[in-house]
Amino acid sequence: MRRLPVLLLLTLALSLAGVHTAQAAAGTYTALGDSYSSGVGTRTYYADSGSCKRSSYAFPVLVAQRTGTQLTFAACSGARVADVQNNQLGSLNASTAYVTVSAGGNDAGFSNVISACARPWPYTCTSEITTANNTIRNTLPGRLDSLYTAIRNRAPSAKVIVVGYPRVFNGEECNAFARISPGEQSELNKTADLLATTISARAAAHGFSFVDARSAFTGHAVCDDTEWLNGLSDPIAESYHPNRTGQSAGYTPLVAAQM
């Protein structure tokens, strides 16, 4: 009988004893994207990140800590798809092991749409939602294709994980100074669904993984008992973004599971 190497014997013994060796995702990791990746909503940002508002509480930092990867944190608040493509891909190369990217919400003008929905009665945001939906259907797919192709060309061996957006609302009105009616909230959530299916389809077409955040944030929307998303906030830029728990309990385990 051939003798098994000592390391293999040790591994088998630990496994049989119920002890599992830690599996760290090796290599370099670049986080691309917009405010949902940079960590807007967590209220604490690296001083040198300026208007990009990168946070130590953002999921890229937490994922890198959990998986043992070396992070290049390029995500920037306010970034559109073209901004990611033109300004954030510099660190990608043949040795990049992992890439995460969230992009598309700003192209649809989601923050402006929510601002329009928050106007007092009798104003509605029907036209703004329609415009956003048309952009998602007709314009966003081509922009994503261009970005995803550029990522693959620069990082041919990387596992690319496309990170989606949650539904923000649960149908309740709880913010006195932001009158977003239940009907408007329902339509905004439908827009979030359209955004998710559109981004997921383009990710799949490029062979990328997709992290769907909608289920994880169900029960933790704005006005839920335990919010993972900020409602109307001061300063205003913190509004309708994941808070620290949304980043740590919502996004981090979903993304880390893909690495």
Give per-residue pLDDT as tens, 152-163.
Answer: 999 999 999 999
Q: Is residue 70 part of a domain?
A: yes
pLDDT band at 175 (very low <50, low <70, confident <90, very high): confident
Computed on alpha carbons and rounded to an integer, the radius of gyration of the chain in Å comes to 20
pLDDT at position 167? 97
Query: Which of 6-15, 56-65, 128-137 is predicted with the least confidence, judged by mean pLDDT?
Result: 6-15
Q: Residue 212 domain-assigned?
A: yes
pLDDT for residue 169 is more than 90: yes
Q: Decide: pTM greater than 0.85.
A: yes
Angle between helical axes of 126-138 and 182-205 (0-180°, round to 10): 10
**pLDDT recorded at residue 234:** 87
Catalytic residue (one of 37, 55, 102, 241): 241
What does the pLDDT read at residue 127? Answer: 95
* 14 occurs within a structural domain: no
Position 16 in a domain:
no
User: Residues 89-116: what's their mean pLDDT?
Assistant: 95
Percent of the chain with pLDDT over 70: 90
Active site residue 206: no
Residue count of the chain, please give it: 259
Domain count, the chain: 1
> Which range of residues forms the domain containing residue 51?
24-256
Average model confidence (pLDDT) across the chain: 90
How many alpha carbons lie under 13 Å from residue 188 in its C-beta half-sphere? 30
pLDDT at 25: 63
Neighbours of 223 (CB within 10 A): 17
Distance (Å, whole) CA 102 – CA 63: 15
Q: Is residue 177 very low, low, confident or very high in pLDDT (cuts 50, 70, 90)?
A: confident
**Arithmetic mean of pLDDT, 125-130:** 95
Q: How many percent of the chain have pLDDT more than 90? A: 80
In a domain, 104, yes or no: yes
Q: What is the pLDDT of residues 37-83, one digit of tens each?
A: 999 999 999 999 999 999 999 999 999 999 999 999 999 999 999 99
| Tokens coding 194 | 């359209």
241 a catalytic residue: yes
**Class of residue 4 by CB neighbours under 10 A (exposed 0-12, middle 13-18, buried 19+):** exposed
Question: pLDDT at residue 15 above 80?
Answer: no
CA distances from 186 to 106, 119, 171, 173 (A): 20, 16, 7, 12
Which of 35, 77, 102, 239 is an active site residue?
A: 35
Q: What CATH number does residue 198 fall under?
A: 3.40.50.1110
pLDDT tens digit string along 218-249? 999 999 999 999 998 989 999 999 999 999 99
4 domain residue, yes or no: no
Does the residue 12 lie in any domain? no
In this prediction, residue 9 has a pLDDT band, given cuts at 50, 70 and 90, of: very low
Domain presence at residue 105: yes
